[in-house]
Amino acid sequence: MNFLSMRELRTQTAAIKTMLSNDGSIVVTNNGKPAALMIDINEDNFEDVLTDLRKLRAKRAIRLLQKQSEKAGMSGMQMEEIDAVVAAARRARTI
């Protein structure tokens, strides 16, 4: 996998398509830390790639919520407790 700094991204635009074609992806860095991921797409796979990206974002959001639940000590709740919390939130929302 190729890594490219933000500066290189601005100055080596012609080489980017070749890099993407060869490797399929490029990690763009900012001050040496990953900042973005570029992937090779075309008009034939654009919709599929976009759908996959949306699914990945949803999975990441679920993982984050699970981690927050564990950190808050709520990961061991029973279904009755969860139902009570949901019901209370719904009541508060309608007020």
CATH T-level fold of 1-44: YefM-like fold (3.40.1620)
pLDDT digits (tens, 9 = 90+) for 36-86: 999 999 999 999 999 999 999 999 999 999 999 899 888 888 999 989 989
Hey, where are the domains in the chain?
1-44, 66-95
List C-alpha distances in Å: 2 to 7, 20, 45, 52, 55.
15, 9, 22, 22, 25
List C-alpha distances in Å: 3 to 13, 23, 27, 56, 94.
14, 11, 5, 22, 50
Whole-prediction pTM: 0.66
